[in-house]
Amino acid sequence: MALRMDVGKDLVAASATPLVLAILAEGDSYGYAIIKRVAELSGGHLQWTDGMLYPVLHRLERQGYVAAKWSASENGRRRKYYRITREGRAQLAAQRQQWQVVEGTLRGIWMKACTV
């Protein structure tokens, strides 16, 4: 039986920016594909919705970290494609360093807690 783990809203919100930027660093993408990639990367533990993703994309666009353009998809439908900007790559690098500090801190305290 697979373990069902819900990730808390605060953690989902905190991880949204680095996840979106990292996915776009892999290549240009559109909303539904980003949602599918997050689910894939998290083994299904993070199930984002349009209502969660698009405010993040719009904020990143306002901040200059992401640029968007309308383009025709393979089936001829128009889609809004997002790409990471130079500023977005710099922000991704900063976010990576911050998350590495958090992860290292948690790993250190959890390793001590397990040996007590």
Copy the structure tokens of residue 45: 């533990």
pLDDT given for residue 102 in this prediction:
94
Q: Average per-residue pLDDT in the chain?
A: 91
Domain boundaries, the chain: 9-115
* Ordered DSSP codes for 93-105: HHHHHHHHHHHHH
Give the DSSP letter of residue 43: T
Q: What is the average pLDDT across 4-11?
A: 79
Distances (CA, A) of 101 to 26, 62, 85, 96, 98: 23, 27, 25, 9, 5
pLDDT tens-digit readout, 24-79: 999 999 999 999 999 999 999 999 999 999 999 999 999 999 999 999 878 888 99
- Report the CATH fold assignment for 9-115: Arc Repressor Mutant, subunit A (1.10.10)
The pTM (predicted TM-score) of the whole model is 0.87
Q: What is the average pLDDT across 3-26?
A: 88
66 in helix, strand or coil?
strand
C-alpha 82/C-alpha 73 separation (Å) is 13
